[in-house]
Amino acid sequence: MTRLLRALFAGALLLAAAAPVRAATPVDHGLAELAMSALADMKTRIETLTGDLAQAPDEWRKLNAQTREALMSGTGVRGFTYLLILLLVGSGVEWLYWTYAYAPYRLIESTPVSSPRQAFRVGLRRLVFLGSGLLLFTVAAIGASAAFTWPPGVQELVVAATLLVLVLRLAWVGVALVLAPGHAKLRLVPIEPRKTRWLAAAAMTIVLLLALGRFVPDLLERIGNAPRAASALRLAAATVTAVLLIAAAFAFLGRPLQSAGAGPKLAPPRLSRPFLAVLAIIAAYALWILSSATAGLIAAITAIVIALQMGLREWVFFFWKEEADKESLLPSIVLSAARFLVVVAGIGACAFALDTPVSQLATSEKPLVMFGLRVLGVAALMLLTNMIWIGIKTSIDHRLRQIGSPDSHDEPGPGARLLTLLPLLRVTMAVLLTAILIMASLWALGIEITPLLAGAGVVGLALGFGAQALVRDVIAGIFFLAEDAFRIGEYIESGTNIKGTVERITLRTVALRHHNGPLHFVPYGALGTVRNTSRDWVIEKFNIPMPIGIDSEKIRKMIKKVGEEMKADPEIGPLIMETLKGKLYRIDPGVKIFRCKFRTAPGKQFDVRAQALKRLEAALGKMGVGFADGTQTVLSPPGPAPAT
Amino acid sequence: MHAGRVVRSVRLFTGLVLMAFVVGHLANLALGIHSLTAMEAAREHLMDPWRSGFGQWLLLGSVVVHVALGLYSISARRSLAMSRTDVAQLVLGLLTPPLLLNHVVVTYMADQVTPDFDSAYGMMLAIYWKFSPSYAFQQLFVVVIVWIHGALGLYSWLVLKPLWRRIGALVMPVLFAVPILALVGFAESGKEVLEKLANDPAWKTHLTDNIVSIVKFTSQLDVFQARVLTGYGTLLLIALAVLAARVLRDRLTPVRVTYDGGLSAQGRRGLSVLELSLLNDIPHAHVCSARGRCGTCRVHVDAGAQSLSPLNDIERGTLERVSEGQPVGEGVRLACQARVLGPGVAVTRLLPAYADASAARQPQEWAADAPAGEVAQ
């Protein structure tokens, strides 16, 4: 559905492009009158055509005699000799080129190609080779033609003949690159291999017909002075082309390629592609006959643009067959760029077909012309913005998918910051792009945006004063995130003594979950100094009091041993970064204080400490030593009791 | 000696003779850039040797033998799979006799039937530029066609020789320049002749008399032409019929060849391995287009050697040449000579598909017997 919509949109654009030109001719009739005059035009056109057809044979005979006379003379012979020399010089130079270029060209052709994208790259290289050959031929032939003094009237003929050769060779380069008959792997379009040669032949025939229909009647009109024969010839060429196109539509558009192994699928009924194509061909042909050559041409261009728009997705994704999901970055960008290019090329072709004086249009004063041009500008802006948006969005989405969704039970990984920043960036870019698009569109439509900008500036200033705190929060937030002060999942403590795990980051606030449950929403501006306890490592220290009479060295060794055991423990060992150690720290009356210390991953110190205490207690028990009991024992000196 | 080798040498020799004649003729024509008198003066040296005694018979014999061998080689083909150069050679070669016949008859036969006929350049040019320009178109075509045919033949023979590295830079410009200069000479002398016709009534009368003298014999000459053309057409049809019959007969027994890199080709029995490659779009080097001269199409037969046609003289000679004194490797064949007569053939291409004429000139540099697929990477 969207495909069709897009195609229709492109068609509408083309019509919009044609509108200013139509508008250039003054039309001040009513609708009915317009229709009547169109009908009258149609009638005269048909009458002219039939008249031309009726008188063409006579003119043709006359022309034939003239041509024979002109050719069968010294002039004709000289013209032909010169033409042969041109072709010889051109092909000689090209042959010389190919004696050097053929081996590398064969190398390119025989490169093993595994994907259509690789085939595309190979195609570009082939284009360079084939194109250089053609260019050399052209330059040599044209250069040689400048060396002769041509008999009068012959030069136009020779130029037409050379152009015909060039057009055909150019078409062949295109066919050889895109269809690559004989090299299935190098093909750039999804098409059944056995149809390739036929399609190539059909394409070449149609190009030949079109080229003949373009050059020969012109010559007849200008040199032969036979406008009716020319008109009849044009009609013949157009008719044969239309018939061939219809035949080709049935032969090649029959059924879209089924991917192997997909199995039969019940597709919903829809208009078949050959039917649509034939409809378009007939419409263009009818317009050509009934209205004017230009109208037919524009109809044909519109039809081609619509057809391309409908087929572009399939064609572009043919190059990215292996990527299953249709939302990957590059194809999407290529697709939208291709759509854009096709429309622009269509508009250009229409302008060319209409013989539009482009430079005059740009400076035209007529309001409708100006409006049409501006609408065109806006459309171009929208397409461009859309392309940029697709680029940004798909790349951000792609990156987000790579990082994966956040899991609150896991450690905050290195991607946590991107996970925080990217959605923010996406929204910001959307807002920014929309704003720019609106501004640019207004500007393109000719609406003065300077006062708007100035007004926005004043209002912005006022709002800025009012929303100072808001602005401060947002900007502070950007810096916090840019400096990587905290990420989702980390335990932080703000300058205002609010502690908690970072749960959510928004444009203005950060949500901190306190370990007791409450959720704090802290504006960035109020965050102040941030103390992040979830980074890299923590050191934990604790004291154990021992009886004063204990051997300090023995206790120190015992603590060290417990530390080593803990490090070796499979469950708790990996958390420990520096093993438990203890030393005598202070001697108080009646008690020796030992200070113990270890280093762990952040947030794990509590578990490790509990474990350490438990093990220490057990070890002490085994040694038969208790902790200091905290009471002072008063010992009376031994001796005989005082006699009473 | 093997018949194929004799045919090849004779065809080459007669072709060279004809090429020498054409070069002389066109060079003579090119002198028209200077003047008509220069053309006439040079004719004595460039053209007259071919008109008398030995030269005459050599030329005539070469024409007949070259055409006959061309037709024979068509009838000896097993398929129409060939390179683009070969197609051009074949088509242009076939077109030449009918187009050229008229010219030969007027200049040569007319001399025989009317001894006082003046077939000088002035006369012929006047016919072409003034009295009957349709002949001129025919002749202009023939110049281009014959030259391209000859130049292609000469080039594809010489380029394989080690000598080419020294003379290539000389021969190529000559190959380009000769027809262009001849055409320019034709145009320039045409101008001169037209001018002379307008200003020299005596000469004009002489020419008109001359033409009248030949017109009497036109019907006689036409009959002769028609006979030759009919004969040529018949021979061509026979050659094509033989080819068609062979294709139809072989069609019944399909064969299959597998290549390195997992490729395989299918075709009729009796086709050479190279023809199978070309028919199946398998990249395969073939510089001399199946004449068995260059050795770039050589393959290693991995299996089914008994299903291939036996080694012939041409193949043995070329294989010995490219192996340069080393013994020819076991199982190495020329794909253009080894015809597939049975099932189970598997080959490995020994040269990459992009091998060019230098592979024939300096085989040792390309002798790294790596399969084509690997090198192409």
| B326 SS3 class | coil
Separation in Å, CA A40 to CA A292, A417, B107, B338: 13, 72, 65, 74
ipTM of the complex: 0.86
Mean pLDDT of A78-98: 89
pLDDT attached to residue A277: 87
User: Count of CB atoms within 10 A of residue A644's CB?
Assistant: 3
User: What pLDDT does residue B197 have?
Assistant: 84
Buried b (16+ CB within 10 A) or exposed e, A419-430: bbbbeeebeeee
- A52 pLDDT exceeds 70? yes
- DSSP for B90-140, please give it: HHHHHHHHHHHHHHHIIIIIHHHH-TT----HHHHHHIIIII-HHHHHHHH
Percent of chain A with pLDDT strictly greater than 90: 11
Buried (b) or exposed (e) across A292-308, using 16+ Cβ within 10 A? eebbbbbbbbbbbbbbb
* Dist CA A458 CA A439 (whole Å): 17
Confidence band for B67, pLDDT divided at 50, 70 and 90: very high
Contact A102 B128 (CB under 8 A): no
Contacts 24+ apart (CB under 8 A), B309-316: B309/B337, B309/B338, B309/B339, B309/B341, B311/B337, B312/B2, B312/B4, B312/B337, B313/B1, B313/B2, B313/B4, B313/B5, B314/B2, B314/B4, B314/B5, B314/B8
The amino acid at B77: R
* pLDDT band per the 50, 70, 90 thresholds, residue B91: very high
Contact residues for A313 (Cβ-Cβ < 8 A; gap 6+): A3, A335
Residue A588, phi then psi, degrees to nearest 5: -105, 165
pLDDT classification of A19: cutoffs 50, 70, 90:
low
Residue closest to A571 by CA, chosen among A599, A540, A618, A604? A604
Distance in Å from the first CA to the final CA of chain B: 42
User: In this complex, is the C-beta atom of A106 within 8 Å of any C-beta atom belonging to chain B?
Assistant: yes
> How many Cβ atoms are within 10 Å of A360's Cβ, its own excluded?
10
Query: What token pair was written down for A407?
Result: 């899991």
| CA distances from residue B227 to A410, B56, B60, B105 in whole angstroms, order as listed | 99, 21, 17, 12
Mean pLDDT for all residues in chain B? 84
Of A71, A96, A112, the CB nearest to B373: A112
pLDDT digits (tens, 9 = 90+) for A482-509: 788 888 888 898 888 889 998 888 778 8
At B151 the pLDDT is 92
Which of B89, B130, B135, B137 would best serve as a mutation to test chain A binding (most A beta carbons within 10 A)?
A: B137
Distance CA A246, CA A249 (A): 5
What pLDDT is attached to residue B36? Answer: 85
pLDDT tens-digit profile of B151-192? 999 998 888 888 888 888 888 888 889 999 999 999 888 888
Tokens of residue B215, six digits: 């017109």
Is residue B56 within 8 Å of B21, Cβ to Cβ?
no
Task: Tell whether A431 is within 8 A of chain B (Cβ).
Answer: no
pLDDT above 80: residue A643: no
**Which token pair is A302?**
């519109």
Contacts of A84 in chain B (CB under 8 A): 140, 143-144, 183
Q: Cβ separation of A107 and B353 shorter than 8 Å?
A: yes
Distance CA A170, CA A272 (A): 32
A85 vs B184: CB contact, 8 Å cut-off? yes
CA distance A304 to A95: 37
Confidence at A324, pLDDT banded by 50, 70, 90: low
Other Cβ atoms within 10 Å of A29 Cβ, number: 11
Q: Which is higher by pLDDT, A270 or A376?
A: A376
A110 vs B354: CB contact, 8 Å cut-off?
Answer: yes
CA distance A135 to B353: 26
Q: Which residues of B touch A (CB under 8 A)?
A: 128-130, 133-134, 136-137, 140, 143-144, 172, 175-176, 179-180, 183-184, 186-187, 190-191, 194, 261, 281, 283, 285, 352-356, 372-373, 376-377
Instruction: Flag if A77 and B172 touch (Cβ within 8 Å).
Output: no
The answer to whether B322 and B295 are in contact (CB under 8 A) is yes
Task: Give the tokens for residue B353.
Answer: 């598909």
- At residue A595, the 3 state secondary structure works out as strand
Cross-chain residue pair B176–A111, CB shorter than 8 Å:
no
Rounded to whole angstroms, the Cα distance separating A385 from B377 reads: 42
At B201 the pLDDT is 85
Q: What's the pLDDT tens digit per position in A396-429?
A: 887 777 776 555 445 545 556 667 677 778 888 8
pLDDT digits (tens, 9 = 90+) for A283-314: 888 888 887 778 888 888 888 898 888 888 88
pLDDT, residue A7, reads: 57
pTM (2 d.p.): 0.70
Confidence grade of residue A32 (pLDDT, cut at 50, 70, 90): confident
Rounded to whole angstroms, how far apart are CA atoms A23 and B245? 69
Rounded CA-CA distance A109/A126 in Å is 8
Q: Stretch B1-5: mean pLDDT, rounded?
A: 68
Which token pair is A37? 């005059």
Percentage of chain A modeled with pLDDT above 70: 85
DSSP annotation of A25: S
Q: How many residues does chain B have?
A: 377
Residue B205: Cβ-neighbour burial (10 angstroms; 0-12, 13-18, 19+): exposed
Element holding B349 (H helix, E strand): strand B345-349
Which of B217, B213, B151 has its CA nearest to residue B179? B151
Distance separating the N- and C-terminal Cα atoms of chain A:
119
Contact B9/B17 with Cβ under 8 angstroms? no
Q: How far apart are CA B375 and CA A110, in angstroms?
A: 10
The residue whose two tokens read 């102040």 is A528
Q: What is the pLDDT of residue B292?
A: 82
Contacts of A238 (CB under 8 A, 6+ apart): A213, A285, A288, A289, A296
> Rounded to whole angstroms, how far apart are CA atoms A131 and A137?
10
pLDDT beyond 50 at B213: yes
Question: A85 vs chain B: nearest CA distance in angstroms?
Answer: 6
What is the amino acid identity at position B197?
L
Q: Which contiguous run of DSSP H or E holds residue B264?
A: strand B264-268
Which of B139, B152, B180, B349 to mutate to probe the A interface, most A CBs <10 Å? B180
> What's the pLDDT band for B95 if we cut at 50, 70, 90?
very high
Question: Does any CB of chain B come closer than 8 Å to the CB of residue A112?
Answer: yes
Amino acid identity for residue A14 in this structure: L
CA distance B349 to chain A (A): 13
C-beta pairs of A52-59 under 8 Å, 24+ apart in sequence: A52/A227, A52/A228, A52/A231, A52/A232, A52/A235, A53/A232, A53/A235, A55/A228, A56/A228, A56/A229, A56/A231, A56/A232, A56/A233, A59/A226, A59/A228, A59/A229
CA separation for the pair A578, B313 (Å, rounded):
85
Instruction: Return the pLDDT at A104.
Output: 87
